[in-house]
């Protein structure tokens, strides 16, 4: 099960899974130009600009007039506004499975400050799960998957230290929002330990770089 991290973090998110499935589109068209012709499906998670860039989506939809776009109900209208005809938008519901020939897509609900989902992706070459921008993976089952693309944003110890330091200095503590909206390395590792198998590969996606690189995961910023 292959993957290519085009970008991850607050500057923009786009990951290609299994060679032809684009997860999120929060980058420039230029960043994706070399990959556009082989993309078979675009999966979108939520409305934040680092995951959903209307100008890039509009250009891709124009250049690839038969390309399918998949999303949950909260992104159907924004996709249409971005220039994607409704006939090319597949609206998903968490917990359901959707087939594209030999590919199966299943959205999973995630916890963020806007409606958000991740995706389970099954292809003939393996199974992957993509989850970022969430504070919890509770209730999600992905046993023995080949590829885990999971957010690992901070360590519990590190964020406690940052909150304490900023509170003492009278600074604005943005970290409280991070706790509510993003997954810690500790939760990521617990999920992987409970779900992964001996053959599994883990890629830690993240937005905030004030942390040591997670030694138990391949750091997507280095790919």
pLDDT tens profile 178-188: 788 888 889 99
Measure the CA–CA gap between 129 and 45, rounded to whole angstroms.
Answer: 13
Q: In this predicted structure, what is the pLDDT of residue 166? A: 86
Domain spans of the chain, in order of start: 3-222
Q: In this predicted structure, what is the pLDDT of residue 152? A: 86
- 180 contacts: CB under 8 Å, gap ≥ 6: 113, 135
Low-confidence ranges of the chain (pLDDT < 50): 207-216, 221-223
Q: In this predicted structure, what is the pLDDT of residue 196? A: 95
Q: In this predicted structure, what is the pLDDT of residue 219? A: 53
Q: In this predicted structure, what is the pLDDT of residue 118? A: 98
Measure the CA–CA gap between 162 and 166, rounded to whole angstroms.
Answer: 6
pLDDT tens profile 88-118: 999 999 999 999 999 999 999 999 999 999 9
Q: In this predicted structure, what is the pLDDT of residue 177? A: 79
Q: Where are the beta strands (DSSP E) in 110-165?
A: 117-123, 126-131, 147-151
Q: In this predicted structure, what is the pLDDT of residue 180? A: 80
Nearest by Cα to 10 from 38, 37, 48, 61 = 48
First and final C-alpha spacing in the chain? 16
Q: What global pTM score does this model have?
A: 0.89
Q: In this predicted structure, what is the pLDDT of residue 220? A: 55
CATH fold of 3-222: Metallo-beta-lactamase; Chain A (3.60.15)
User: Does residue 127 contact residue 109 with C-beta atoms inside 8 Å?
Assistant: no
Helices (H), 104-206: 156-169, 175-181, 185-195
């Amino acid at each position: 099960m292959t993957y290519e991290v085009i970008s991850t973090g607050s500057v923009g998110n786009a990951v290609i899974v299994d060679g032809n499935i684009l997860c999120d589109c929060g980058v420039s068209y230029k960043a994706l130009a070399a990959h556009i012709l082989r993309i078979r499906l675009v999966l979108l998670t939520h409305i934040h600009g680092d995951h959903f860039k209307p100008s890039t989506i509009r250009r891709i939809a124009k250049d690839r007039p038969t390309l399918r776009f998949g999303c949950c109900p909260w992104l159907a209208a924004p996709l249409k506004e971005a220039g994607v005809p409704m006939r090319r938008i597949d609206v998903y519901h968490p917990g359901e499975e959707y087939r594209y020939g030999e590919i199966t897509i299943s959205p999973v609900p995630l916890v963020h400050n806007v409606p958000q989902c991740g995706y389970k992706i099954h292809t003939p070459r393996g199974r992957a799960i993509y989850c970022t921008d969430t504070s919890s993976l509770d209730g999600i089952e992905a046993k023995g998957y080949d590829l885990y693309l999971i957010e690992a944003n901070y360590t519990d110890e590190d964020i406690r230290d940052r909150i304490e330091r900023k509170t003492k200095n009278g600074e604005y503590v943005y970290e409280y929002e991070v706790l509510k909206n993003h997954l810690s390395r500790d939760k990521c590792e617990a999920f992987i330990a409970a779900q992964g198998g001996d053959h599994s590969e883990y890629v830690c996606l993240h937005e905030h770089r004030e942390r040591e690189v997670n030694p138990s995961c391949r750091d997507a910023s280095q790919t």
